[in-house]
């Protein structure tokens, strides 16, 4: 029975076809389910069409009689009075859900398995839209909703909320909570009503949810992707040996947000007052409402505090949480304690800072830093967005004047070593046994430049792939497949990337062939093939001796000579680095010779680091 009168006969559309009935109505967003569809127009009205089975069109009991359908879009009012403005709609296999701009959630259709989230009493079919009141009563404003086969996910909107007062006052983002209702086969437990999804999602803010056939995914405000449920064919971004993920699990292959690298790392300061040593500043507690919660130096000239991250890190953001308590004596300035921090300098270095106090200590520390920032305005949380691609290990906070240095916490957000992720996820869609994650396009030209260079430095072949994308057209014209004059940006903080290590190790073999016909840069495949096919050296092969005349080489030669003299009997022990003594062991000639031939100073190439360990011996 066609409940839209004078509807067109049902027929398959073999190509994208305009829905004539809505041709003159601008549509904001649309959703497809199993044999039904819905859309929200720009005037925030809801239209539904397709199969009305199990009440999924929400058109009331009229559709209950027999197998019904609507061949034309039908306007579906959610509530007769105070017409709610629709925000979005989502269609499942046998149910539908929609949210309003006021944060209300409406559901209708098949309630089997608890997918409507209307509680234990709501497991039957609901032929008309029903508002989910418990969420509303708890003060949750629902932003997005997603219907799967037998479950529904919802996420609350994120809003700016002011908290605290005085210097304590700061803006916080609140919301982004994920709720789920439905079957245990998807969610791990039966949820007849909407329950909050916790686990790893308890501490992050979600911006979007997607419910698939039997799995779920969430995108966070930081761009992370979490998946859980049935991992059929690896649709939860996990190895297929994991058949079911009961809790949201980070898809780290896409992106993981930088962690606080300073937490519990070794810290020190120019002096210590009242036993409040430097480690209080990295104990994880950002609360500065009492002096006991803050680090404190004596009153020092240019008092300083610093932390060692333990390794070179690509640093993104540094946050300082200031002391916030006020003097008990009301005749004193309210900001007596919190203003002591200013003016101050925050800086990062690849070498340890000296432990001198006063004198030229600030100038010297700033001089050896790879990046620095001055704070002059007092805030509860002071933030430094470190310039891009800064790699450092030591972070120092230093006062300009003569005072006590105290603060509650210093957090360093970044990534140790080379960042391996694809990029921030902006949207996810779950299907049946598959997931599509969308990585945000790069709008900043410097980002485009950086990713293009990274790609071709990793493998020249990537240039052939990227040139087909309009985004990279300018980059292709500029850099092509790359060449010797591009500085490697994959190597960071004195650590060489695998590619540069390979090129250095097989320098001689690659030297003459690194540029193919017409100056063409070899791909990784071509390099590998060439190295594997290279003729083996003869058995009586003696590697050429390369004299390293750098200071590091001379020092190493001197040390080796001393060792020989003091060691007496030579040949009894062979150091693995002592190539010359190994070279005559011809059985290992082929492999060893390559290693020994590379044992000269680094090629004067772009990647030669000026960091410790540069003078390879
Ligand atoms: Zn490199």
Residue 322 resides in a domain: yes
Compute the distance from residue 194 Cα to the ligand 1 centre, in Å.
50
Compute the distance from residue 614 Cα to the ligand 1 centre, in Å.
14
**In which residue ranges of the chain is pLDDT below 50?**
568-617
Compute the distance from residue 497 Cα to the ligand 1 centre, in Å.
4
Q: Are residue 300 and residue 379 in the same domain, yes or no?
A: yes
Compute the distance from residue 606 Cα to the ligand 1 centre, in Å.
8
Supply the pLDDT for residue 250: 93
Q: Are residue 471 and residue 534 in the same domain, yes or no?
A: yes
Supply the pLDDT for residue 65: 66
Compute the distance from residue 499 Cα to the ligand 1 centre, in Å.
6
Report how far residue 130's alpha carbon sits from residue 78's, in angstroms, rounded to the nearest whole number. Answer: 8
Residue 480 resides in a domain: yes
Q: Are residue 378 and residue 471 in the same domain, yes or no?
A: no
Domain boundary among 177, 196, 215: 196
Supply the pLDDT for residue 234: 94
Q: Are residue 45 and residue 185 in the same domain, yes or no?
A: yes
Start-end of H helices in 369-491: 445-458, 462-466, 473-479
Compute the distance from residue 496 Cα to the ligand 1 centre, in Å.
5
Among candidate residues 150, 17, 15, 11, the one with its CA nearest the CA of residue 92: 150
Q: Are residue 392 and residue 464 in the same domain, yes or no?
A: no
Report how far residue 440's alpha carbon sits from residue 542's, in angstroms, rounded to the nearest whole number. Answer: 54
Compute the distance from residue 221 Cα to the ligand 1 centre, in Å.
31
Q: How many residues does the chain have?
A: 617
For residues 530-564, b (16+ Cβ closer than 10 Å) or e, as one string?
eeeeeeebeeeeebeeeebeeeebeebeeeeeeee
Sign of the Cα torsion 324, 340, 279, 172 reads positive
Between CA 287 and CA 294, with CA 293 as vertex, the angle to 5 degrees is 100
Compute the distance from residue 492 Cα to the ligand 1 centre, in Å.
8
Compute the distance from residue 465 Cα to the ligand 1 centre, in Å.
21
HSE of 602, CA atoms in CB hemisphere, 13 A: 20
Start-end of H helices in 12-142: 133-137
Compute the distance from residue 160 Cα to the ligand 1 centre, in Å.
42
Domain boundary among 366, 399, 416: 416
Report how far residue 283's alpha carbon sits from residue 408's, in angstroms, rounded to the nearest whole number. Answer: 9
Compute the distance from residue 506 Cα to the ligand 1 centre, in Å.
14
Residue 570 resides in a domain: no
Q: Are residue 40 and residue 178 in the same domain, yes or no?
A: yes
Compute the distance from residue 384 Cα to the ligand 1 centre, in Å.
28
Compute the distance from residue 498 Cα to the ligand 1 centre, in Å.
7
- Can you give the residue range of the structural domain that contains 522? 444-543+603-607+609-613
Compute the distance from residue 272 Cα to the ligand 1 centre, in Å.
42
Report how far residue 191's alpha carbon sits from residue 171's, in angstroms, rounded to the nearest whole number. Answer: 34
What is the residue whose two structure tokens read 């559901």? 107
Pairing mode, strands 344-349 and 425-430: unpaired
Q: Are residue 451 and residue 395 in the same domain, yes or no?
A: no
Q: Are residue 163 and residue 309 in the same domain, yes or no?
A: no
Compute the distance from residue 596 Cα to the ligand 1 centre, in Å.
21
Start-end of H helices in 92-196: 133-137, 184-187
Q: Are 392 and 337 in contact (CB under 8 A)?
A: no
| Helical (H) or strand (E) element with 334 | none
Compute the distance from residue 295 Cα to the ligand 1 centre, in Å.
40
Compute the distance from residue 489 Cα to the ligand 1 centre, in Å.
6
Tally the domains of the chain. 3
Q: Are residue 45 and residue 137 in the same domain, yes or no?
A: yes
Compute the distance from residue 554 Cα to the ligand 1 centre, in Å.
26
Q: Are residue 392 and residue 461 in the same domain, yes or no?
A: no
Supply the pLDDT for residue 429: 95
Supply the pLDDT for residue 63: 67
Report how far residue 90's alpha carbon sits from residue 103's, in angstroms, rounded to the nearest whole number. Answer: 15
* Strand segments (E) across 141-234: 142-147, 151-156, 158-163, 170-175, 178-182, 191-196, 206-211, 215-220, 225-230
Compute the distance from residue 170 Cα to the ligand 1 centre, in Å.
42
Compute the distance from residue 409 Cα to the ligand 1 centre, in Å.
35
Q: Are 201 and 250 in contact (CB under 8 A)?
A: no
pTM of this prediction?
Answer: 0.63
């Amino acid at each position: 029975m066609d409940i839209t009168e004078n509807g067109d006969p049902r027929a398959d559309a073999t190509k994208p076809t305009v829905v004539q009935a809505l041709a003159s109505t601008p549509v904001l967003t649309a959703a497809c389910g199993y044999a039904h569809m819905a859309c929200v127009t720009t005037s925030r009205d809801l239209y539904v069409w397709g199969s009305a089975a199990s009440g999924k069109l929400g058109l009331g009991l009229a559709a209950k009689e027999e197998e019904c359908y609507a061949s034309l879009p039908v306007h579906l009012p959610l509530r007769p009075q105070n017409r709610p403005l629709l925000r979005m709609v989502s269609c499942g296999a046998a149910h539908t859900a929609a949210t309003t701009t006021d944060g209300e959630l409406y559901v209708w259709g098949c309630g089997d398995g608890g997918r409507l989230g209307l509680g234990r009493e709501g497991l039957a079919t609901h032929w008309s839209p029903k508002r989910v009141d418990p969420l509303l009563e708890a003060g949750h404003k629902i932003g997005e909703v997603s219907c799967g086969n037998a479950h529904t996910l919802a996420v609350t909107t994120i809003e700016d909320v002011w908290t605290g007062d005085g210097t304590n006052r700061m803006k916080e983002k609140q919301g982004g909570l994920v709720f789920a209702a439905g079957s245990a086969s998807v969610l791990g437990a039966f949820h007849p009503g909407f329950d909050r999804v916790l686990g790893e999602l308890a501490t992050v803010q979600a911006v979007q949810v997607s419910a698939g056939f039997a799995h779920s995914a969430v995108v966070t405000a930081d761009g992370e992707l979490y998946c859980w449920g049935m991992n059929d064919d690896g649709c939860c971004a996990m190895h297929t040996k994991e058949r079911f993920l009961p809790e949201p699990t980070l898809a780290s292959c896409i992106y993981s947000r930088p962690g606080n690298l300073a937490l519990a790392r070794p810290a020190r300061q120019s002096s210590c007052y009242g036993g409040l040593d430097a480690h209080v500043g990295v104990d994880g507690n950002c609360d500065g409402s009492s002096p006991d919660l803050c680090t404190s130096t004596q009153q020092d000239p240019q008092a300083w505090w610093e932390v060692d991250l333990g390794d070179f890190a690509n640093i993104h953001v540094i946050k300082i949480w200031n002391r916030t308590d006020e003097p008990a004596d009301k005749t004193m300035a309210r900001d007596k304690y919190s203003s002591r921090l200013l003016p101050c300098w925050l800086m990062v270095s690849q070498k340890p800072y000296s432990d001198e106090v006063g004198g030229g200590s600030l100038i010297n520390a700033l001089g050896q830093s790879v990046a620095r920032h001055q704070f002059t305005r007092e805030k509860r949380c002071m933030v430094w967005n470190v310039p891009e691609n800064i790699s450092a290990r030591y972070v120092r906070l230093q006062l300009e004047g003569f005072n006590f240095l105290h603060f509650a916490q210093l957090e360093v957000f970044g990534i140790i070593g080379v960042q391996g992720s694809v990029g921030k996820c902006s949207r996810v869609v779950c299907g049946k046994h598959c997931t599509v994650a969308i990585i945000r396009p790069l709008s900043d030209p410097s980002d485009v430049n950086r990713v293009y260079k990274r790609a071709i430095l990793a493998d020249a072949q990537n240039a052939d792939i990227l040139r087909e994308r309009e985004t990279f057209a300018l980059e292709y014209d500029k850099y092509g497949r790359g060449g010797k004059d591009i500085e490697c940006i994959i190597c960071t903080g004195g650590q060489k990337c695998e590619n540069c290590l390979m090129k250095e190790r097989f320098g001689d073999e690659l030297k003459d062939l690194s540029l193919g016909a017409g100056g063409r840069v070899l791909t990784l495949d071509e390099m590998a093939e060439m190295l594997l096919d290279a003729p083996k050296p003869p058995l009586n092969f003696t590697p050429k001796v390369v004299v390293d005349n750098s200071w590091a080489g001379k020092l190493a030669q001197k040390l080796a000579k001393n060792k020989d003299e003091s060691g007496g009997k030579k040949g009894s022990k062979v150091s693995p680095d002592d190539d010359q003594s190994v070279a005559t062991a011809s059985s290992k000639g082929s492999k060893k010779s390559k290693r020994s031939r590379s044992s000269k100073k680094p090629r004067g190439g772009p990647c030669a680091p000026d960091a410790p360990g540069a003078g390879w011996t």
